[in-house]
Amino acid sequence: MRNRSLFFAIIALGYLSFCACDSEPKPLPILGERDVKNGDTIYHQVPDMVLIDQDSQAFQLSKLGDKIVVADFFFTSCPSICPRVKKQMLRLYDKYKTDPRVMFVSHSIDPRHDTPSVLKTYASNLGINTVDWKYVTGDKDSIFHLADQYFVSVVDDPSAPSGFDHSGRIILVDKNRHVRGYCEGVDPESVTGFFKTIDQLLAEEYAK
C-alpha cells in the first residue's frame, strides 16, 4: 500500500515537472559568435544596412520600429528552390500578416535584374501586401555579405541554375537584430515547427 502511494507520488511529480517545462520553455538562443568586452557579452547582430525596397524607398531594420523580422534570400528568376521557399513564406505570411509585430523581408541576391520595379511586380503577382512584406535589394557585395550575416550561404555558381547557389533558409530576427532561429524553407515540416519558434519569440519580446 505504501509502495503504491509512493509510486503515484513519483508519477505525479514527474507529470508536474513535465508540465512546468512545457509551459515555460527555455528562451530562444541568440545564434552566432559572441564576444565578451568589459564583462559584457556582445552577441552577433545582423548589420543595419541601408537597402532599397520595391518602392525605391530606403529600407533599414532599425527603422522598422518594434518588429521582429522573418527573412529570406531569393531572386525572381530562380528556377530551383525559390518557388518552394516562397510557398512556405506565404504559409507563414498568411498567419502573421495581420500581426503588426511581425515584418516579412525578402532579399534579392540578383540586384542586376531585380530592380525595385521588378520586385514590385513580383510581389504583386505573389498577391502580398508590401506594407507587411518588403522586397529589398542592394549592391551585390552588400547583399552577399548580409546573407552571410544571416547565416544563409549564397555563392556565385555558374553551374547552378541562373548562376547562383543559395540556401533556402527562413530566418527569424528579434527587435535587436539578433538571429533567434531559422528553418529550412524547402522542407514544409521544418516550417511547421517554425510557427512555434515565431510564437515563442513574440511571447518573449512582447511579454513586458
Partner 1 sequence: MRSNLLFLLLGGLFIFYACQPNPYRQGKDLYGAHCAGCHSDDGSGLAKLIPALDTTKLKLREPKELVCLIRNGLPFDSLTRQQMPANKEINEVEMTNLINFLGTRYIHSERVVRVEEVQAMYTACQSWKHKD
Using CB under 8 A, which of 67, 86, 166, 180 touches partner 1?
86
Residue 74: is it exposed, middle or buried by C-beta count within 10 angstroms (0-12/13-18/19+)? buried
Residues in the interface with partner 1 (CB under 8 A) total: 17
Q: Which of 76, 106, 137, 167 binds partner 1 (CB under 8 A)?
A: 76
Q: Does 77 bind partner 1 (CB under 8 A)?
A: yes
At closest approach, how far in Å is the CB of 108 from partner 1? 11
140-143-148 Cα angle (round to 5): 125
Give the 3-state secondary structure of residue 38.
Answer: coil
For the bound state, the minimum distance from the C-beta of residue 120 to partner 1, rounded and expressed in Å, comes to 12
- Strand runs (DSSP E) across the chain, as ranges? 34-37, 40-43, 51-53, 58-59, 68-74, 102-108, 133-137, 154-156, 164-166, 169-173, 179-184
Q: Is the dihedral of CA 157, 163, 168, 171 positive or negative?
A: positive
State which residue, 65 or 79, has the beta carbon closest to partner 1: 79
What DSSP designation does 60 have? -
Of 75 and 150, the one with the shorter C-beta distance to partner 1 is 75
Does residue 81 interact with partner 1 by CB under 8 A? yes
**Which of 49, 55, 121, 175 is the binder for partner 1 (CB under 8 A)?**
121
Q: Out of 28, 118, 173, 179, name the contact with partner 1 by CB under 8 A.
A: 118
Residue with cell 525596397: 53
- Write out the residues near partner 1 by the rule CB under 8 A: 76-77, 79-81, 83-84, 86-87, 90, 113, 118, 121-122, 125-127
